[in-house]
Amino acid sequence: MITIYHKSNCSTSIKVLDILKQSGKKYKIVEYIKNPPSVEELTAIVQKLGISAEQLIRKKEPLFKEKYAQKKLTAQQFIEILAENPGLIERPILIKRTRAIIGRPIDIVANWIK
């Protein structure tokens, strides 16, 4: 089973979901804007991705630039910011058991889900 953290109005997320549908693999959609992941879930996602919490943040978003860009934050603080502001989470995220990827660029997704 593959879990996709999906944003329904994101063109990249929509394209990745289409790849999942065409793959025939079982998947579960988490619309993370409607159902934001908890601090614990985000911590697990970061671990599965093998990245820092800061790397999961969409730094080009106006909210990030306005409120957080000039601050020196800990990994825990980045996780808490993401939990409170799910629109800042990089997307789409695909999780398969203990591994995860961010589905950008899109061409990495097809090989990963095999």
Q: 21: exposed, middle or buried (C-beta count within 10 Å: 0-12, 13-18, 19+)?
A: exposed
Dist CA 8 CA 100 (whole Å): 20
Q: Do residues 75 and 52 lie in contact, with contact meaning Cβ atoms separated by under 8 Å?
A: yes
The backbone torsions φ and ψ at residue 57, rounded to the nearest 5 degrees and listed phi first, read -90, 135
Distances (CA, A) of 50 to 15, 45, 61, 70, 112: 24, 9, 23, 25, 15
Residues identified as active-site: 10
